[in-house]
Amino acid sequence: MPAQAQQKARAILKTVFGYDSFRKGQEELIAGIMDGRDAIGVMPTGAGKSICYQVPAAAMDGITLVVSPLISLMKDQVDALNQAGIPTTFINSTLTAQQLNTRFREIADGNFKLVYVAPERLESERFTRFLGELNIPFVAVDEAHCVSQWGHDFRPSYMSISRVLNLIRPRPVIAAFTATATDKVKEDIVRHLRLDDPVRVTTGYARENLSFSVMKGVDKKAYLADYVRSRPGECGIVYASTRREVEECCSYLLKLGIRAGRYHAGLAEEERARNQELFLYDELKVMVATNAFGMGIDKSNVRYVIHYNITKNVESYYQEAGRAGRDGEPGECILLYAPQDVMTQKFLIEQGESDEERKTIEYGNLHGMVEYCHTTECLQRYIVRYFGDPEGQACGRCSCCTDDREVADVTLDAQKVFSCVARMKQRFGITMTAKVLRGANDAKVRQFGFERLSTYGAMSSRKEKDIVNLINVLVADGYMKLTDSQYPVLTLTAEAKTVLEGKEQVFQRVAPAARSVARSVDAG
Ligand code: ADP
């Protein structure tokens, strides 16, 4: 950016926000915007996206429009900007008709530099006409992934943004921001918002201070209690997928004498606001919540985020888990995995209001998350790769990187699985395949004549649960794929065929059952 603009941007950063230097990616985006270019910024939660539009907004003449779906965040940001001396206001559904009129008048009078607006407002004709009369040199679209059907949080109201932007003359500079976007989603953002040769900044997705873990087969309640008690004085969030589970976990922690609070959409607005406030000020140590909690909450000292259940996709998981360690200090992100929770998520998709095409995407996204739970590669790298960066390094901190269980050669078992899948014509799912391998006396198995397959009962000495787990790991490791559908079907990849031909071996980590027995004997 020209030296003068750069100086101006840095001065604003210092005087308005009190920061000495820009963080990675911020200056490039700000320079582009102040130079009149469109921009797309993909930066993880906590990286500092807001500054990227707030600094240019403060520097420009006229009004900056910020489209944001998060009403709770809106108020916090508006308050903070006003305190910092940048007159800012918002327009959303919480205003009465009378307040709205006053607000419109004040905006038209040029009283504000920034106006936050909820996307739904853009569907109001009155509002769009009003926008046409204003001087708006710059529009920032926050949570821009909401514009994409491929994203995890598609919002139809985002589709009207570009139509409304067309009404503003001259055409404003448009900048889009999101924390999580795969390449497909990024392209959707550029296309739907009609960004014109935008400056693109994607900062690394990796969060160096976070350690990820997946815990399988644990007694969740006992684990939760032990964990929370082992971190006295520290703040954490426990996410559960249903209100009922939030209630249960919260009362359980309270009974143990832990200062826990609850948050879900079924509570009265006052209680939610109060609990959120208490948590922000460390009066509550643990917040037990559904995913209704956290959007836009900037609490820097959350030391751990425990997911009591699997989330519906990797995007949501990373966003929620990423609320740990926003201050840059170490944070732990733990997911308690149980196969039933995958069924719950499938049920939610099935019962959901999405059309069939969208549901297929949702099933596919859920698979991504199930794979995360079963992968043996670095968890941080899995996530980074999911978002389209193949270059990630193993973090050395996650439960996979620190897994010291022995690596065993499971080639023979893998071959049994693959040949069974092949003999079942690659038309069935995990459970059915496990039943055949187990040799289950099952009506459906007989219905298809699978008791006559040579692989029927090939793993009769194993529990069905263990076979299911083995298959899941083989899927996560890329030997098989599951189709994107409500009843996903196992298919073999080229790697599985190489294994079947005996050209490659398969290794998995196995529980050190023998070792631990030996150790306890030693100790005794
Ligand atoms: P995001 O929207 O990317 O999740 P925010 O914009 O809320 O992140 O910023 C996260 C935190 O980082 C905020 O507390 C913000 O004030 C702080 N921050 C942003 N930019 C800087 C900077 N250049 N220097 C220091 N702190 C910053």
22 lines ligand 1 (CB under 6 A): yes
Residue 230 has pLDDT above 70, yes or no: yes
Residue 33 has pLDDT above 70, yes or no: yes
Distances (CA, A) of 219 to 223, 239, 343: 6, 16, 18
Provide mean pLDDT across the span 330-344: 92
Crossing angle for the helix pair 411-423 and 464-476, to the nearest 10 degrees:
90
Residue 136 has pLDDT above 70, yes or no: yes
Q: Whose CA is nearest to atom 5 of ligand 1?
A: 48
Distance CA 239, CA 15 (A): 38
Strands 114-117 and 64-67: parallel
- Please report the pLDDT score of residue 423 as a whole number: 97
Residue position matching structure tokens 């390094």:
393
Among 22, 23, 74, say which to mutate for ligand 1: greatest number of ligand atoms within 8 Å of CB: 23
Report the SS3 class of residue 41. strand
Residue bearing the bigger pLDDT, 517 or 335: 335
- Please report the pLDDT score of residue 40 as a whole number: 97
Q: Are 367 and 484 in contact (CB under 8 A)?
A: yes
Provide mean pLDDT across the span 157-163: 89
pLDDT tens for each residue of 234-279: 999 999 999 999 999 999 999 999 999 999 999 999 999 999 999 9
Cα–ligand 1 centroid distance for 242 (angstroms)? 31
51 lines ligand 1 (CB under 6 A): yes
Tokens in use for 139?
């529009």
Crossing angle for the helix pair 379-386 and 356-374, to the nearest 10 degrees:
150
- Please report the pLDDT score of residue 478 as a whole number: 82
Confidence class for position 88, pLDDT limits 50, 70, 90: very high
Distances (CA, A) of 107 to 84, 90, 168: 19, 10, 15
Provide mean pLDDT across the span 408-425: 96
Q: Whose CA is nearest to atom 20 of ligand 1?
A: 48
pLDDT tens for each residue of 341-387: 998 999 999 999 888 888 998 999 999 999 999 898 899 999 998 88
Distance CA 437, CA 417 (A): 7
323 lines ligand 1 (CB under 6 A): no
- Please report the pLDDT score of residue 524 as a whole number: 30
Cα–ligand 1 centroid distance for 193 (angstroms)? 25
Cα–ligand 1 centroid distance for 372 (angstroms)? 28
19 lines ligand 1 (CB under 6 A): yes
Provide mean pLDDT across the span 5-24: 91
Q: Give the contacts of 298 (CB within 8 A, at least 6 positions apart).
A: 76, 326
Percent of the chain topping pLDDT 70? 96
Closest by CA to 398, choosing from 220, 264, 213, is 213
Phi and psi at residue 213, to the nearest 5° = -140, 145
- Please report the pLDDT score of residue 391 as a whole number: 76
Confidence class for position 513, pLDDT limits 50, 70, 90: very low
Confidence class for position 295, pLDDT limits 50, 70, 90: low
The complex's ipTM works out to 0.97
- Please report the pLDDT score of residue 271 as a whole number: 95
Q: Whose CA is nearest to atom 14 of ligand 1?
A: 298
298 lines ligand 1 (CB under 6 A): yes
47 lines ligand 1 (CB under 6 A): yes
Q: Give the contacts of 218 (CB within 8 A, at least 6 positions apart).
A: 336
For residue 88, the cross-strand partners are: 114
203 lines ligand 1 (CB under 6 A): no
Among 51, 52, 280, say which to mutate for ligand 1: greatest number of ligand atoms within 8 Å of CB: 51
Cα–ligand 1 centroid distance for 268 (angstroms)? 30
Question: Hey, how many other C-beta atoms are within 10 angstroms of the C-beta on 242?
Answer: 15
Among 30, 45, 298, 299, say which to mutate for ligand 1: greatest number of ligand atoms within 8 Å of CB: 298
Percent of the chain topping pLDDT 90? 67
50 lines ligand 1 (CB under 6 A): yes
Give the burial string for 351-364 (b: 16+ CB within 10 Å, else e): eeeeeeeebbbbbb
Q: Whose CA is nearest to atom 15 of ligand 1?
A: 48
From the number of C-beta atoms within 10 Å of its C-beta (0-12, 13-18, 19+), residue 102 rates as: exposed
Among 24, 50, 203, say which to mutate for ligand 1: greatest number of ligand atoms within 8 Å of CB: 50
- Please report the pLDDT score of residue 1 as a whole number: 64
- Lowest pLDDT segment from 136-145, 197-206, 420-429: 197-206
Distance CA 427, CA 51 (A): 51
Residue bearing the bigger pLDDT, 435 or 73: 435
Shortest-distance atom of ligand 1 to CA 23: 23
Cα–ligand 1 centroid distance for 53 (angstroms)? 12
Confidence class for position 199, pLDDT limits 50, 70, 90: very high
- Please report the pLDDT score of residue 296 as a whole number: 60
Mean pLDDT of the chain: 90
